[in-house]
């Protein structure tokens, strides 16, 4: 016996993928872009370290803090970011942290001293520690469990 709406046997769920609306695609693209920037920011500064050292006259030890500042902010506050998203609201935490990330990025581009650059990198890491769990939480609550969520998470 088959289901009247599909050719699938009765009792077997229809595996036809549901079409996503442009709004869902937009949400997913914004979340993916934010997570991409969070991950990229850890490694992209490595390419600029020689230029940073020359322009700001920094030692090798100080250059290490430029890399470590982001990682300390990100890794040290990741659990707090997830908890804050649960308590204060995923969307609110994501948007505020994204705004802080953008401001810290602007600040990092305008500084002319090593300590300020390290501080801006730490603030970027801190804000990324809030955008990452809030973004993943938005994905898991926006997309239905099953193939739709799996597809969104794989993207």
Predicted TM-score (pTM) above 0.85: no
Exposed / middle / buried, residue 84 (Cβ in 10 Å: 0-12, 13-18, 19+): buried
155 residues of the chain, pLDDT tens digit each: 444 444 445 554 555 567 888 999 999 999 999 999 988 988 888 898 999 999 999 999 899 999 999 999 999 999 999 999 999 999 999 999 999 999 999 999 999 999 999 999 999 999 999 999 999 999 999 998 999 999 999 98
| Distant-in-sequence, close-in-space partners of 115: CB < 8 Å, separation ≥ 6 | none
- Tell me the CATH number of domain 22-154, given options 3.30.70.20, 3.40.50.920, 3.40.50.720, 1.20.1250.20: 1.20.1250.20
**Within 13 Å and on the Cβ side, how many CA atoms surround 107?**
17
């Amino acid at each position: 016996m088959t289901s009247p709406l599909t050719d699938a046997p009765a009792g077997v769920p229809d595996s036809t993928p549901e079409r996503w609306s442009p709004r869902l695609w937009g949400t997913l693209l914004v979340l993916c872009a934010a997570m991409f920037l969070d991950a990229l920011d850890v490694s992209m500064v490595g390419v600029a370290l020689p230029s940073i050292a020359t322009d700001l006259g920094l030692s090798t030890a100080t250059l290490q803090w430029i890399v470590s500042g982001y990682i300390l902010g990100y890794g040290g506050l990741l659990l707090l970011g997830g908890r804050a998203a649960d308590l204060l609201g995923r969307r609110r935490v994501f948007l505020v942290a994204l705004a802080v990330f953008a401001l810290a990025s602007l600040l990092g581009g305008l500084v002319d001293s090593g300590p300020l650059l390290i501080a801006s990198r730490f603030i970027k890491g801190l804000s990324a520690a809030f955008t990452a769990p809030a973004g993943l939480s938005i994905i898991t609550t926006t997309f239905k469990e099953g193939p739709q969520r799996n597809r969104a998470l794989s993207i």
